[in-house]
Structure 1
Amino acid sequence: MARLSYPKAGELNAGLEELVLSRVGDGRKDFGYKTESAGDLASWGDPGLEELTRWVGRMAGQLVEKLLGVSLAEAYLRSREREGEGGRAPVVGVVARRSWASVYRNGDRHEPHFHPNTAWSAIYYAAAPGPCELDLLDPRHFVDYFDAGISLAGEEQRVRLVCAPGDLVLIPGWLRHAVPTFQDEGVRISLSWNLNYMARSG
């Protein structure tokens, strides 16, 4: 996982709260525990959001390359070779398949969940009166089913990240995460993207 700050956060976030709240007012999804925008952020036609989305994809791509020690194109070719397929080096990138805005008000939360069919989940904090908390959970199913009388470091533990508006968090799509109960006045606004890899001929 990675946490980093968006270099243009001050400039972008100034108008983002108003934009999100106006969009969430139209065709919103009210889940009872938070409110979410309908439709992808890409459909909003906001140049600042489009630039942020491109930056998020680049940062995810750079994270993967740093973790693997090779370019995305090289990693893609190696995986094809393992499957007995060849080919030329493609252009490989990380793209957003789905994106949305979430608005939390006093008492709202999001229970543990993960994002299926997603390589990376990206969360950008746009506005909050205080810290933005995100819990990361042990991804193993039924880890607490058998009590052997011992526990390993971190087992059954939540790791709580404390972020601020302008921060981006990148986590694997399979990693369970949760938003603890928001207990401030005002609103907490985050933008989220489900990211996947895309390859095309160079």
Structure 2
Amino acid sequence: MDIVLARLENTRNLFDYKSETSADLVEWGEEATDRISSWVLAMARRFTEKIAGKNLDDAFSDGRADTTEERPSVSVGIGRSWASVYRRGDRHEAHFHPNTALSAIYYVTAPDTCELDLLDPRTGIGYYDSGISFGGEGHVIRLRCKPGELVLFPGWLKHAVPEFGDDSLRISLSWNIGFSLGDPPEGRP
């Protein structure tokens, strides 16, 4: 928590709806943020492999048209990472993370639970309205996470943070995660 608050003092990303550090967590040179970023990458790989039902390298190779080439390894990497600090009245409107395979949020501290709304992506899509709706269409799922928990979800999924109503701080760390062929870039977990 102290690392985040110290970084926040020197930031220009003080929005009217929350405070956010501007520099990538992986560039801070802090052992704690490097360690948690490496753990998040490992969890993102496990999450993806669990959904795919197979090793990430195999899942990628199975989806390729040309299988005569040597099977490449797939690395999981961080595109951008930051810390968010919420005070009473702060919130973050519905948004998604373009060009991001997975979004990850780790909850550092909060007085009780950290709420995160996941929005049904089917709403607002311009298609023929038959007058019927499908189960769950237009619904919002509210997650109530405790500090120490990690949430992973597709980067295309709209999400929002409802208004924070406590006098203490709510701090979370976030990562935009992607996949690439080969080893991750130098200096990135």
Q: 2:100 maps to what in 1?
A: 118
Give the TM-score normalised by structure 1: 0.85
Give the TM-score normalised by structure 2: 0.90
- C-alpha displacement at 1:154, in angstroms? 1.1
Deviations 1:93-115 (A, max 9, x none): 21111100001110000000000
Amino acid at match of 1:43: E
Deviations 1:58-79 (A, max 9, x none): 1111111111112111112122
Q: Is the 8 A contact 1:144 1:156 kept in 2?
A: no
Q: Is the 8 A contact 1:143 1:156 kept in 2?
A: no
State the distance in 2 between where 1:34 and 1:43 align: 22
Alignment partner for residue 147 of structure 2, among 165, 176, 181? 165
Q: Is the 8 A contact 1:129 1:184 kept in 2?
A: yes
Residue identity over aligned pairs, in percent, reads 51
Q: 1:36 maps to what in 2?
A: 20
Structure 1 residue 57 corresponds to structure 2 residue 35: no
Residue segments in structure 2 that go unaligned for 5+ positions in a row: 184-189
The structure in which a higher percent of residues are helix is 1
Q: Is the 8 A contact 2:123 2:138 kept in 1?
A: no
Per the alignment, in what secondary structure is the counterpart of residue 162 of structure 1?
Answer: strand
Amino acid at match of 1:62: R
Q: 1:175 maps to what in 2?
A: 157
Alignment partner for residue 156 of structure 1, among 121, 138, 141? 138
Q: 2:84 maps to what in 1?
A: 102
State the distance in 2 between where 1:66 and 1:188 align: 30
Q: 1:75 maps to what in 2?
A: 59
Residue segments in structure 1 that go unaligned for 5+ positions in a row: 1-16
- C-alpha displacement at 1:145, in angstroms? 8.1
Q: 1:184 maps to what in 2?
A: 166
Per the alignment, in what secondary structure is the counterpart of residue 150 of structure 2?
Answer: strand
State the distance in 1 between where 2:146 and 2:5 align: 19
- C-alpha displacement at 1:22, in angstroms? 0.9
Alignment partner for residue 136 of structure 1, among 113, 118, 130? 118
Question: What is the aligned residue count?
Answer: 183
State the distance in 1 between where 2:89 and 2:127 align: 30
